[in-house]
């Protein structure tokens, strides 16, 4: 990856690598080794959580796509952004899930940069709500 990329370009690049290209090797180019992500349930540290997140999405969903990336607010070291992802549920042991159902969900993220790397993020995802929602 080019070192002179903007922070927005880094986010777009790594999301494309993780979702479209199934490539986790690029994580160290964008995320600090001291990376931490805060979710509604728990805080996670390190690159392993990013690798696990990407693997779980690809294991659970086929036809995984980035629908949209919206950059909402930006300062020198902080970006507030929203990603919309879509995928088709793969067959699993969970009988509550409708196999082959396509789901689409939004995630709101705040990414904090330090020395050109994402060092900290806050993530709020609609994934589980959409996954287990009943059709109207």
Which pLDDT score is estimated for 12?
97
Tens place of pLDDT per residue across the chain (136 aa): 556 789 999 999 999 999 999 999 999 999 999 999 999 889 999 999 999 999 999 999 999 999 999 999 999 999 999 999 999 999 877 666 777 889 999 999 999 999 999 999 999 999 988 887 766 5
Which pLDDT score is estimated for 135?
61
What CA–CA distance (Å, rounded) separates 43 from 11?
20
Per-residue exposure over 45-78, b if at least 16 CB sit within 10 Å of its own CB, e if not = eeeebbeebbeebeebbeebeeeebeeeeeeeee
Task: State pTM to two decimals.
Answer: 0.89
Q: Which domains does the chain have, with CATH numbers?
A: 7-131 (3.10.450.50)
């Amino acid at each position: 990856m080019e070192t002179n990329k903007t922070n927005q370009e880094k986010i777009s690049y790594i999301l494309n690598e993780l979702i479209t290209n199934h490539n986790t090797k690029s994580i160290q180019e964008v995320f600090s080794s001291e990376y931490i992500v805060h979710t509604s349930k728990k805080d996670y540290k390190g690159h392993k959580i990013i690798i696990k997140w990407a693997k779980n999405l690809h294991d659970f969903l086929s036809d995984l796509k980035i629908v949209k990336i919206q950059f909402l607010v930006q300062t020198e070291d902080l970006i507030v952004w929203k990603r919309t992802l879509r995928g088709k549920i793969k067959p699993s042991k969970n009988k509550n899930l409708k196999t082959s159902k396509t789901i689409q969900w939004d995630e709101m993220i705040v990414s904090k940069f330090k020395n050109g790397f994402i060092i900290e993020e806050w993530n709020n995802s609609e994934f589980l709500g959409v996954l287990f929602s009943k059709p109207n």
